[in-house]
Amino acid sequence: MKAYRIFIYIYIVLILILFFNGCDNSNKEEVTNTFIDKEEVINDLLIDKENSYFNDYIVKDNKVYLICTLVLRNFNSEGKTFSIIGDFSEDKEGGLLKESLLYAYDIDLNSRVFTIEGNELKTYEVCFVGNYAGQYQKKNRLLPQTITIIKQ
């Protein structure tokens, strides 16, 4: 059990190193800093990228609804309340979206606040919502380039 915890700790550290090394673009970092307070990022929730995926998108009433399935694991023994922000820079550059950083809402669009119990693996059907920029084409069928989980 102790070896498993050490492995998880190393895995989390490696993910964080890869995440922060991927933020070298100074323009992107500037936008991120104005949108997300780094002290509010939750580091003990990880996205299971093998089981998370992009589903589809819909354009309606000048809004873009990007539907995804996200599987999150809470490595902490305490429950968490959080929001999810996705970076859709490629879709902004491609003309689908007016902005690149979007909040995720529950699939019914009722709330952008999510909860998870301690040590839980949970699947969320989420919808990122942004303003339509006029080009009805998504750059790819992948999850957002970066997904950030922030405290509520």
Mean pLDDT of 57-85: 95
**What is the domain-level CATH number for residue 125?**
2.60.40
Residue matched to tokens 């000048």: 62
The structure's pTM equals 0.74
pLDDT in tens, 9-25: 555 544 544 444 443 33
Domain assignment present for residue 29? The answer is no
What pLDDT was estimated at residue 43? 76
In a domain, 67, yes or no: yes
Interval 76-82 mean pLDDT: 94
Residue 59 burial (C-beta neighbours within 10 Å; 0-12, 13-18, 19+)? middle
In a domain, 138, yes or no: yes
**Six-digit token pair at 73?**
């694991």
Q: How many CA atoms lie within 13 A of 70 on its CB side?
A: 29
Residue whose structure tokens are 């790819």? 140
pLDDT for 16 equals 42
Q: Report angle CA 52, 30, 92 to the nearest 5 degrees.
A: 50
Whether 23 is covered by a domain: the verdict is no
Question: What pLDDT sits at residue 34?
Answer: 39
Q: Name the residue range of residue 116's domain.
A: 37-151
Residues 89-109 have pLDDT tens digits of 999 999 999 999 999 999 999
Q: Is residue 52 part of a domain?
A: yes
Q: How many domains does the chain have?
A: 1
Nearest CA among 11, 39, 23, 24 for reference residue 87: 23
Q: Annotate 110-132 with DSSP letters as a single string.
A: S-S-EEE-TT-EEEEEEEEEEEB
- Identify whether 17 is part of a domain: no
Helix (H, G, I), strand (E, B) or coil at 105: strand
CA pair distance 141, 67, nearest whole angstrom:
11
> 120 pLDDT band (50/70/90 cuts)?
very high
Confirm whether 24 is domain-assigned.
no
